[in-house]
Amino acid sequence: MPAGAFSACGLALACPMVAAMVDRDPSGVSRRDFLKQTGSGGAVGLLGGAAVPLASGTAQAANPAPAPAVTELGPGVMPVSLLVNGKAVTARVEPRDTLAVVLREQLGLTGTKIGCDRGACGACTVWVDGQPTPACMTLVLDVAGSGGKGGRPPRPVTTIEGLASAAGKLHPVQQAFLAHDAMQCGFCTPGMVMSCAALYERRRAQGKLGSLDEAAVREAISGNLCRCGTYPHVVSAMLNTAGTPGGGSR
């Protein structure tokens, strides 16, 4: 039976004897040898007896580009610089720490909630670079400054605590949530507000607040789950925030 028949059905990998019989190429390297090499040595293959990178294209394999310098971080705790709500702060983090955990447990910004901790509920929504972002799915190192001369500055993070003005005046979306009773237990509310406020700011910057409609609001909060079912109030609040006719009365 041709080797291809075994390979197609996977038998060659499942049966050692078959693999030994049919999976040895003219260079003397068996599929099993190949898999062992790639499994233990990363993306390195045996071709003609010499170890070469498994790059695509002959030219690339012949002249591999020099690997960029990699700075190893961790695995222990390390200091990082962050920019949160307009303030430069430092924290000591492990590389595995999420932004949500660091905000809550190190910086005391507990307005950011953790519901699912896997990017499904939106309770942890903050802004990173002005964009609504699930903090539970963001490693804190992704927003931290890289430090050193010429290093990357920290990316701006805004939490619900930083949405009001410096003088303490609530953001228009926060005011609208209060006016339209757009919360019950309140667990989802910080994330919901951050998603809505991002939409509000985007439309305001475009001069299109007046054209805000229900579909746009529902899309903006499509990643925010509310088990109390406050969605109609949230939509109503947002439409009134934008001064759009038809919103508000419920």
SS3 of residue 50 by DSSP: strand
Which residues within the stretch 171-200 sit at the binding site for ligand FES (CB under 6 A)? 183-189
Among 144, 157, 226, 235, binds ligand FES (CB under 6 A): 226
C-alpha to C-alpha distance for 134 and 173, rounded to whole angstroms: 19
Helix (H, G, I), strand (E, B) or coil at 134: strand
Work out how close the CB of 117 gets to ligand FES at its nearest, in angstroms, rounded to a whole number.
5
Least Å from the CB of residue 96 to ligand FES:
16
For the beta carbon of residue 178, count every other beta carbon within 10 angstroms.
12
Q: Does 159 bind ligand FES (CB under 6 A)?
A: no
List 125's β-bridge partners, or say none.
134
Residue 102 sits in the site that holds ligand FES (CB under 6 A): no
Beta strands in 140-233 (DSSP E): 156-158
Cβ(173)–Cβ(196) under 8 Å?
Answer: yes
Cα–Cα distance between 109 and 126 in angstroms, integer?
11
Could you tell me how many residues of this chain bind ligand FES (CB under 6 A)?
23
CB of 134 to ligand FES, least distance (A): 4
CB of 99 to ligand FES, least distance (A): 10
Q: Identify the H or E element spanning 146.
A: none
Give the Å distances, CA to CA, from 74 to 9, 94, 224: 43, 6, 33
- By CB under 6 A, name the one of 103, 124, 193, 239 that touches ligand FES: 124
Stretches 2-10, 45-53, 110-118, 165-173: which one binds ligand FES (CB under 6 A)? Answer: 110-118
154 vs 191, beta carbon nearer ligand FES: 191
- The answer to whether residue 110 forms part of the interface with ligand FES (CB under 6 A) is no
- Does 227 engage in binding with ligand FES (CB under 6 A)? yes
Q: Considering the rule CB under 6 A, would residue 114 count as an interface residue with ligand FES?
A: yes
Residue 155 vs residues 10, 85, 128, 129, 141: alpha-carbon distances, Å: 48, 11, 7, 6, 10
- Of the two residues 119 and 246, which places its CB atom closer to ligand FES in the complex? 119
Shortest distance, position 54 Cβ to ligand FES, whole Å: 36
152 Rama class: left (phi>0) / alpha (psi -120 to 50) / beta:
beta
121 binds ligand FES (CB under 6 A): yes
Task: Classify 132 as helix, strand or coil.
Answer: strand
SS3 at position 162: helix
Region binding ligand FES by CB under 6 A among candidate stretches 8-16, 20-28, 143-151, 224-232: 224-232
Residue closer to ligand FES by CB (options 190, 203) is 190
Residues at the interface with ligand FES (CB under 6 A): 114-117, 119-124, 134, 136, 183-189, 226-228, 230
